Amino acid sequence: MKRKKGVHKNKRLGIVIAILTSVFIILFAQLFRIMIINRSFLVSQGEEQSTKELMVMPKRGSILDRNGNELAVSADVYKVRLDLQNLDEYSIKYKKSKDIIADEISNALNLDVDNVRKSMEKKNAVGGYLRDLELARKIKKEVIDKVKQLRSDKQYYFMVIENDTNRYYPNNNFLAHALGAVDSDGSGLLGLEKYYDKDLTGVPGIKISEVDRISQELPYDDPISTQPINGKNITLTIDASIQFIAEKAAEKAMEDTKAKGVSIIVTDPKSGEILSMVNKPDFNPNDPRKGVKTSDELHQLWRNWAVNDAVEPGSTFKIVTTAAALEEELTYKDDQFYDKGYIIIDGVAINCWKPGGHGQENLVDILKNSCNPGFIELGKRLGKEKLNEYINKFGFGNPVGIDLPGETSGIIKPTNKMSNVDLATISFGQADAASMVQLIAALNTVMNNGVYTTPHLMKSMSSVGQDGNSNVVQTYQDKNVRQVISEKTANELAGYLEQVVSTGSAKAAYIEGYGIAGKTGTAEKANIGGKGYSEGKYVASFVGAAPYDDPKVSLLIAIDEPKGQYFGGDIAAPVAKDLFEQIFKEMSFKPVKN
């Protein structure tokens, strides 16, 4: 009997040992799976739940004029996000109504309480509360201080406060089309803000800190962080004083002529630096969509007419035809032409603007009188291939490379598709189309001893360190500099253009003693998407520089669809005179006494 009891006892012991052994094997297997197989996954999960990664946004670089005046700056503002899951847990744990929480948050942020309540109930696709909801942006410091106090006092750690960016244009509409604007995230939307967006934006930093289960940073832990690299400051070639003068001149021209629009560009003809760029009407970059009802209206308002659009240049293009003919030795100062008021090309009569014509003229006369038949003769001597060769050399038909987005190439008729009538009309500024920056670049080539320079707006870029000190890291380098015509040809033509202003069709721009050289233009506007021209729609223009023998400043004025008078000599040249007078005064440029 005793032996039987011993057997049973040993059997029970064996079962217990087997069970314990199995349990230990299972536990060991689980530990192996957790500690070895799934270690990386579980560690990452644990770190994700116990750490908070916050992107620290860099400050967008400022845009300054050539004298350091601020044109676009970024203010320090903040944004608030909500972790709605933590908010819900907080409400349940502390038995606090979400309505009360919404009231407190809306009061601190000056938000509509009903919108805050709706935001607090937003859920994801599977029905869970959102972990990251953007509640408010561009919050000023005095407001965010109240929010921080609320978060601390009430332990509202479901509120996440981050730095944000707010772009500010202190002069409102000033230089609007060139500066452009940014979108709601602070990224470049148009203009220089878009073209130099990468340089202005900088590189974000990262802050990683340990948090508890309610996402509150642990006080004993030192956060790991990388400092953001702020965006570069960009110094422009723009002179704010000259820009102001040009803005006022454009506004007055638009008012006086009841025009659809006015563009003015002022440059240094030797370097291609743009001192001023104006388009009217314009917009306020601080609120670029204000007052606009449709996307088409917005598109038209934002277009930089001087850069994005191409129009027939009219008689201002005669500068190029003259330069080509002089360079090829196909004409000379006393070359004789006869204008009877029209010329017939392949059965098509092309009229001079003056009924009855100008009669006998020399080369300087056809420039001074802007005589179409005379330039048709020069175009005929050059021929299709040679004329197009110079058109290309002067930068037409391709973007000039200005540092603004959306630049047009213009429209140049290919040589193999050019008829004799086309050759005739192109020679005096019709059929082909060009942008305003292409035209000012062509004039500058003549005024700069025949050397082409690219119109541009960036003068230099500077990095700004944590200590606030700035260092120039890049200056503008022109990659398109080239000799287009000889210095002799350029200087000869510059002298002729001075006579166009002093005694010719552009005499309304004449100021004694300043040696202004220039050319007016009056171009019919081509029908959009069709053949022919729009009746009664013109672009009146003037391009000029001074002094003609050592130019310090050049400018272009274009008046789009003026009402009433529409000749460039009548309405654009007087604007040029007023503009030159004010710029000369600003530059302390004195007249030359004879």
SS3 sequence, 115-127?
Answer: HHHHHHCCECCCC
Sign of the CA dihedral running 40, 41, 44, 46: negative
Whole-number Å distance between alpha carbons of 85 and 539? 62
| DSSP for residue 222 | P
Find out whether 456 and 447 touch, Cβ atoms under 8 Å: no
The H or E element that residue 236 is part of is: strand 233-236
Decide if 486 is catalytic.
no
Whole-number Å distance between alpha carbons of 203 and 227? 9
53: tokens are: 């990664």
- DSSP line for 310-333: -B--GGGGHHHHHHHHHHTTS--T
Whole-number Å distance between alpha carbons of 117 and 34? 42
Segments of 38-187 assigned E as strands: 51-56, 63-64, 70-82, 133-139, 159-168, 181-182
Q: What is the b/e burial string over 220-232, where b = at least 16 CB atoms within 10 angstroms of the residue's CB?
A: eeeeeeeebbbbb
| DSSP for residue 230 | P
434: tokens are: 């060009």
Whole-number Å distance between alpha carbons of 147 and 434? 55
Whole-number Å distance between alpha carbons of 87 and 80? 14
Out of 315, 370, 435, 554, which one is annotated catalytic?
315
Give bridge partners of residue 226 from the DSSP assignment: 206
Please count the helices (runs of H) and the strands (runs of E) in the chain.
19, 23
The H or E element that residue 553 is part of is: strand 553-560
> Could you give the residue numbers annotated as active site?
315
